[in-house]
Every structure is written in structure tokens, then in C-alpha cells.
Amino acid sequence: MRVVILESPEAVTQFAADEVCTLLKQRSSNKFGAVLGLATGGTPLGLYRELIARNARREISFANVETFNLDEYIGVPPDSAQSYHYYMHENLFKHIDIDISMTHVPVTFGVDLQHSAADFELKIEQSGGIDLQILGIGVDAHIGFNEIGSSLGSRTRVKTLTQRTRNDNARYFGSIDDVPHTALTMGIQTILESQSILLLATGTGKAKAIRDTVEGPITASVPASALQLHPNVTLAIDRDAASGLSNADYFLAAERNRAVASRSS
């Protein structure tokens, strides 16, 4: 697990955008473009704004990119401002040169949910798998909507949201009573099958979750701790999110040495 501690949320945004752009440029001449796993919430917004800006400057193109979103609320119509379909279109898709038919957000409204989950998994498989999965992290270390106690071998399925998650997300709804109780989410095993994973976290509110993810045991009580099992995970975090790490100095030294090795190679 690579832990990159950066000075500010803005630096996290730039680092993440560089990682995405590197992949897109590597795959631009490939018959099959990059496959991205995308997250919602407050943390990725800076990344999406930066990708929009770079696309507008024609530094990158999404013309041959396919995307899969982590999750979607159940019972919220896709055209609702609270849905993740709406979030993705407003905050990324409608501003870039992507083929909308190549974007996939779990379908949860007016469908058989088990069939929808199985279809989502099949589409990921048919795409060749996710090249880079972008993640945020909850204050209780959930990833996607894989809440505390989620099986580390889980796949896309319906999950009940904890009261804490509903409280945290109430700011996007009129009141806590309007926040759905369930969502369809990629499973932890689905996430772990991505070729690479980039988790973004900023602020002291995420410090405990980051500490438990990086330095704690692998346990269903800390869903993000399953990332320790993946061979190619990068955490891009600011100093506030890193403030709970007992080995922060080691991670900073590792990045300095990585930079030196890169310059001398």
C-alpha cells in the first residue's frame, strides 16, 4: 500500500488528476480505452473539476473511456438531484467528451434489484475489468456503500445504510427523513479486482478511518482495511487526514526515496 501524504486538499486533487491522466494517455492509442471506476460525494469533486479543465484544454480525452460508478441509492429516480446518476452528469459527464452509453451507474429504480446487480457485474467483466478505481472513504472507513460488517468477498448487491451514513449524507437531502435506507453498491471483492485503486481522503474527520485502514488489522469492522490485500493501492491524503498515522514519517520518507529513484532511473 502506497501512502502519499500531501500538503493540502488541492495537492491531493492534482495528484489524483495526474494519475488518471497518465492512465488515459497510456491507453489513448489502444483499441480498448481505459476503464475507470468512479466515486461520488464531496471528496472527488475537485478531481472531476480538474479533469474537466484538462479535457477542455485538450490535454486528455474521454472519447474511448468506459466508466463504472460504485453505487446508487435505491428508490431515488435517476433524474432526481439526489441521485448519483444526476451527480455524475452534472459534475463530470456533461462537461467532457465521453460517450454516455459507456457510463454505468447502478440501476436501482423500477427494476429487479438482484438482476440489476448481476447485470452490473457482467458489464464490468465484459469491459475487461476496471483499470483504475477511484475511492473516497467514510468516517467509519466504509468504501462504496460497503458498511461495517460487509463481507470482504462481497459483490454488487443491496446494502442497508447505517444511521451514521444516513446522517452524514443528510446534507444532500431536504432532511434525514428523506435519506434512503438502502443502496446498490459494488462489493469489496468487486473493488479488489480492479487493476489499481486510488483512495482520496482529506481533513481530520477522515484521520481515524485512514489510520485504521492502513495500520489496523484486516477486518470487516473496517471495510477499507481490505485494501491491504491489493497489490496496487495508492492513498492520496492531506496532512490532516494523515494526522492519526503512527508511521507518517516512514510514508513521507518512502515518497522522497521514490522520487530520488525515479530521477536516477
Angstrom CA distances, 86 to 76, 81, 83, stand at 10, 6, 5
Percent of the chain with pLDDT over 90: 94
In the beta sheet, which residues pair with residue 236? 4, 200
**pLDDT (tens digit per residue) in 94-120:** 999 999 999 999 999 999 999 999 999
> Please, what is the average pLDDT of the chain?
96
- On the question of pLDDT at 128 being above 70, the answer is yes
The pLDDT assigned to 265 comes to 65
- On the question of pLDDT at 264 being above 80, the answer is no
The pLDDT assigned to 177 comes to 95
The pLDDT assigned to 174 comes to 87
- On the question of pLDDT at 133 being above 70, the answer is yes
Contact (CB, 8 A) for 135 and 143: yes
Angstrom CA distances, 84 to 80, 167, 184, 247, stand at 9, 17, 11, 36
- On the question of pLDDT at 30 being above 80, the answer is no
pLDDT band, residue 263 (cuts 50/70/90): confident
> Angle CA(72)–CA(73)–CA(78) in degrees, nearest 5?
75
Number of domains the chain contains = 1
The pLDDT assigned to 24 comes to 96
**pLDDT (tens digit per residue) in 9-19:** 999 999 999 99
- On the question of pLDDT at 69 being above 70, the answer is yes
For the whole prediction, is pTM greater than 0.85? yes
- On the question of pLDDT at 127 being above 90, the answer is yes
- On the question of pLDDT at 77 being above 70, the answer is yes
Taking 3-state DSSP, the helix, strand and coil percentages for the chain, each rounded to the nearest 5, stand at: 45, 15, 40
CB within 8 Å of 211: residues ≥ 6 apart: 244, 245, 246
**pLDDT (tens digit per residue) in 168-204:** 999 999 899 999 999 999 999 999 999 999 999 999 9
The pLDDT assigned to 73 comes to 98
Q: What is the CATH number of the domain that holds 163?
A: 3.40.50.1360
How far is residue 16's CA from residue 224's CA, in Å, rounded to a whole number? 19
pLDDT band, residue 148 (cuts 50/70/90): very high
Q: Give the pLDDT mean for 86-99.
A: 98
**What is the extent of the structural domain holding 6?**
2-264
- On the question of pLDDT at 29 being above 80, the answer is no
Residues recognised as catalytic: 71, 140, 142, 147
How far is residue 265's CA from residue 263's CA, in Å, rounded to a whole number? 6
Contact (CB, 8 A) for 27 and 131: yes
